[in-house]
Chain A
Amino acid sequence: MPDSKNYLHPEAIRRISSMELRARNIVEGFLSGMHRSPYFGQSVEFVQHRQYVPGDDLRHIDWKVWGRQDRLYIKQYEEDTNLRCTLLVDGSESMNYGRGPLNKFDYAATLAACLAYLTLRQQDSVGLTLFDQQIRTKLPWRSSRNHLQSIYRALQQSKPTNKTDLTKVFREINDTYPKRSLMVLATDFLGSEKESLQGLASLRKSGHDILVFHIMDDDELDFPFNDPTRFEGMETIDNLTCNPRALREGYLESLQRFLDRVRRACASAQIDYQLIRTSRNIDAALSAFLSARMAHMRKR
């Protein structure tokens, strides 16, 4: 693994308590490994030349320089952007589960912080909405650097509680965020699957581009329990004492059906969907975000 990637591993992330440092380390580390900068695009304001490397778009080669110096240079312009990115982070109690370095909420919060950092670095505006069964924290879009601190603080101070009710949350977002934007949702969809998917579909119909990060813990995906265990519902009052191995197969089948439903619903609504394990590096999520952003920019 390249050194830059080490910063993206959940175990390394866990050691950094400051959300700001986390976001910076992750994003800078992530970006340093990319050949092509995601921040530079077509605009009128020239910024600099850069020597051509294989993989660069041939359309950006400055042929005049080539004619004079017989060298290939790429012209880089500061991208003109007015992207509005809304980070929707599930703060319900089910997101508090996790036996790895990061629980689901920590993972989602770190991901949101990184995305906010990445967005603001590009001079775009970013907003944050933390919710459970209702919107708990709502930060408006801003593109200033100071706004980043607000986002960090909100994420760091928030604790997962209560049940999930995305129907109510999405209705409120739909009402209060009329302008089309890129919405990034980090949730586990547990508790209100059907309502959540319906809400997402309605958001999509409102013209928002939506990127869903389905955050799941390894335990939830693999169910590796062996010993007799008493499972106590985090968002329900149900308890179950069982031999997990006896129910494992049925559990995994049921979970797989759930994941298929979510994936299918997102696909049908043209929502980008990404299933994220909390044990995986966070760069996958960042790459997915950048792809979604590029697609969003192209549509504009």
Chain B
Amino acid sequence: MQFLFQPLAWGFLLVLVPLLIHLINLVRHRRTAWAAMEFLLESYRKNRKWVWLKQALLIASRMLAMALMVAMLAQWVSGSKWLSLLGRSTIHHYVILDDSASMGDTANGKSAYQTALGAVASIASAAKQDSQSHVLSLFRASRANIAASRLNATADESNPSLKSTPASERPNSAIPDANANQPSSPGTTGQKLRADTIADLLARTIPSDPLELLTKINSTAPTQLECSLSDALETIVPLVQADENERVVVYLMSDFRSKDWTNMVGLKQRLQSIKGDRVEIKLIDCVESRHENLTILSMEPRQEVLAAGVPTMINVTVKNNGVTPARNVATRITAVDYSQRDGEPKPTQRFSGVTTELPPLVFDRIEPGESVTRNVQVVFPKSGSHLVQAELPTDSLQSDNVASCVLDMADGVRVLLVDGDPGGKHSFFFESALNPGGIAKTGLIISREGPEYLRDADAEALDNYACIILQSIPNLDARALSNLHRYVSKGGGLSLWFGDDVSATDYLRNYAAWTKPIPGASNTTPLLPFGLKGGAELSKAAGDTTPDIIADNHPIFAPLLGMSNSPFQFVRIQRFVEIDANSNAATTSTQKSWKPVATLRNQQPLWVDYPIGAGRVLISLTSLDRRWSNWPQDPTFVVAGLKMVGYLSSFRSPETSKFAGSPLRWDFSAQEMLPETQLLFPPESARSVRSTLQVNATSVGDNSIRASLDPRDSNLSEDVTRSLTSSGAFEWWGTSTQGDTLVKNLARNTPPSEGELEKIPPSELIQNLAGIKHDYRTASSIGSNLISASLTNRNMLLMAFLVFLLLAEQWLAWSASYHLPKR
């Protein structure tokens, strides 16, 4: 016989109380002389047997009632076999543990995840004390998310329609599906999630010491991922539905944030599929209340030229996810330089590079729910894969306080100027502005070629340039157009300028091919989104003070905007190329994709930003020639020119950061590097030495080899998977064929949405879960009695028996004349 509250079992000694009271009453009887003894004796002789029997039954009923009450209070869980027959003999506890980054929310030294683990231990202990058959299954949400992501990746490969957007073209796409709370699409998950590969514990019986079972899970910590419980729920659906004789209790242990539980169509759909009479759904809230929290929303360099020795501005955006304003938030900025020649992996140090503490970035005031952006300037004198890290002061959630970005600095950024004039007269202004010489260092390496270069050069040769500027190009053949299209589609930046070398007839004839899909290209997007009518004069009425250029809010003009007067006040545009927005080339999709970033006084577009694939085309509908405009003589030309190159070159820049859990990949040439590489994982708080992993690159082409690690890879060990889903700086070390060590840094940050700690009100949660019977409670309000609800039927049985017994006791007491009749 076992009880949930074992100490209360001593209460069974109370069953002796009625007997003791009876005996004491017999001993403590009073004595009285009695004259009418014969009648008393006669009554005694007549009723002796009944009186004795009723007395015995009365005492027995009282003792039994006492025992039942004690059993109910102590939560008698020792069901004999006949009791087990009344209820279901097996109870399967499915615990779905939210191990997303927000579960690291810590209060009083205990994180929400630790609270959840404590609740799991309580469940196991309570189940162990019950003699019914209990089995426990435990799923971490992150493992289910990773498995689901793996299935989706498989579906991508098997479904060509999903391959249009390669993984490499999804910046910051971490493992968890952002739409995980949406109903799953059968097309994307044709296969089912397998519980045996996901579960931490699957249908495990509880050993004598439940903690033995939980040793492994207790050593885990919340991930840095954004996780959804939907995939784990989807995993258990077939398990729950498989055995109809099994009683099921599903525990969802989470922190119940508004962002996760407000729009929960998919989650609700899965809960609907498992609900039933034999299924109990328990929502265990592991966080008592919302805590103050600051989150680094983003940390990324401005879209500028990233070159050694050139100052780089890093934008750091911090959001206040608390309920009170944050004041004087000092953000620690650390720059790590990896340019030293004798660099080598240093697992015992936080970073292997040379660390420099920059002056802290101070945010004076951040209102609740608001985000503020500040920028910090860093300069790395030498090329290399450098790192900048920002760290907020400690608050309740630590994982969103640190963000990193990688700056892969080259010695210079190569810019190709293609001039229609063999003498290069159109390139003069750009050459002057982008490489002024002297002490001014722009980090740009300017090359000038004729239009034939685009035709004759290998397509891969264009990839060496971060930006290509075409000026006054009269005509390009199909190969040149194809090379340009390929270049832009792969992330290159193309700037197109017109000029005197192209007549109005040329516009219609020569640029017609630009407005059509390029044969053999990877996508059908044309190089020009609209047709051209030809050159036009921009008339100016006398007394009209409107500037010729009206700039929109665009990174190119970012330094120039915000002033009271137009920066282009003295810029005069005489001629421009008029577009034909209604031409055949202006399909619906292309019409939507381009947008003017600056317009003329007559509302005609002057500069147009137009995406093709991963790259951008910036179309200037005028020329730098003095007959077209005087802009090159204006100081704003230098600023906008440099910004334009920085903007266009940013689309080919390597990733600066991604969300935690994103695959790690390093492509390099087999002729330059050896395939053996070593990966240093970010430091862990519990370990003084960083974990390392040897990774051998594999060939992916003639000369290219690739080292890659994907957390979704099922062949990886759990430790490696856990390390791959952590946030921080991953240092990937390799050796060149010359024997030098090379390093490539990869930054993985916690999704900032995990910092949104606003909790969903219970009333709203109940409303969202309308139609689904569930039990919502906080983890702190439960202990070993968590399982008590599972034993309701048994306790109800005891209660019914107790009520019956008390009624019988009253009848017996009345029958034994223990109740005096009314006089």
Contacts and interface: CB of A to CB of B under 8 A. Distances in A.
Nearest to A217: B35
A231 B32 contact: yes
Given A228-B26, A234-B37, A236-B37, A246 B816 contact: yes
A241 B32 CA distance: 10
Given A190-B38, A246-B54, A247-B51, A229 B30 contact: yes
Nearest to B823: A222
Nearest to A220: B36
B37 A227 contact: no
Interface in B777-823: 816-818, 820
Interface string A223-257: 00111111111111010111101111111011100
A238 B32 contact: no
Q: Which of A232, A240, A250, A258 has the most CB of B within 10 A?
A: A250
Given A231-B37, A231-B40, A245-B817, A250 B32 contact: no
Nearest to A250: B43
A171 B42 CA distance: 29
Given A234-B37, A241-B29, A253 B43 contact: yes
A125 interface: no
A177 interface: no
A234 B39 contact: no
A259 to B, nearest CB: 10
Interface in B28-62: 28-44, 46-47, 51, 54-55
B41 A241 contact: no
Contacts of A246: 47, 51, 54-55, 816-818
A249 B814 CA distance: 12
B29 A228 contact: yes
B25 interface: yes
B818 A190 contact: no
Nearest to B31: A230
A39 interface: no
Contacts of B30: 227-230
Contact of B47 (A227, A233, A250): A250
A258 B40 CA distance: 12
A94 interface: yes
B35 A240 contact: no
A77 interface: no
Contacts of A96: 33, 35
A254 B817 contact: no
Given A232-B32, A233-B34, A233-B37, A254 B42 contact: yes
Interface size band for A: 35 or more
A188 interface: yes
Contacts of A217: 35
A242 B44 contact: yes
A249 B817 contact: yes
A232 B29 CA distance: 12
B32 A254 contact: no
A227 B25 contact: yes
A250 B31 contact: no
Given A242-B44, A247-B40, A250-B43, A190 B29 contact: no
Nearest to A227: B30
Contacts, number: 113
A112 to B, nearest CB: 19
B34 A97 contact: yes
Given A240-B37, A254-B39, A255-B39, A229 B31 contact: yes
Nearest to A188: B35
A292 to B, nearest CB: 26
B44 to A, nearest CB: 6
A241 to B, nearest CB: 6
A231 B42 contact: no
Interface in A243-289: 243, 245-251, 253-255, 258
Contacts of A104: 35
Contacts of A220: 35-36
A234 B34 contact: yes
B654 to A, nearest CB: 97
Contact of B35 (A97, A241, A248): A97
A245 B378 CA distance: 99
Nearest to A164: B35
Contact of B41 (A226, A228, A240, A253): A240
Interface in A54-73: none
Contacts of A248: 43, 817
B773 to A, nearest CB: 51
Q: Which of B31, B32, B33, B43 has the most CB of A within 10 A?
A: B43
A242 B28 CA distance: 12
Q: Which of B32, B34, B816, B820 has the most CB of A within 10 A?
A: B34
Nearest to B25: A228
Nearest to B815: A246
Contacts of B28: 228
Contact of A247 (B25, B31, B43, B820): B43
Interface string B1-41: 00000000000000000000000011011111111111111
B62 to A, nearest CB: 14
Given A228-B26, A241-B26, A245-B817, A251 B40 contact: yes
A247 B37 contact: no
Interface pairs A-B: 9 shortest CB-CB: A250-B43, A94-B35, A228-B29, A233-B37, A254-B39, A231-B34, A97-B35, A251-B43, A245-B817
Interface of B: 25-26, 28-44, 46-47, 51, 54-55, 816-818, 820
Interface of A: 93-97, 104, 188, 190, 217, 220, 225-236, 238, 240-243, 245-251, 253-255, 258
7 contacts: A96-B33, A217-B35, A229-B31, A229-B32, A230-B32, A234-B34, A251-B39
Given A229-B30, A245-B817, A250-B42, 17 more contacts: A95-B35, A97-B33, A190-B36, A227-B30, A238-B41, A240-B40, A240-B44, A242-B40, A243-B818, A247-B40, A247-B44, A247-B51, A249-B47, A250-B44, A250-B46, A251-B39, A253-B43
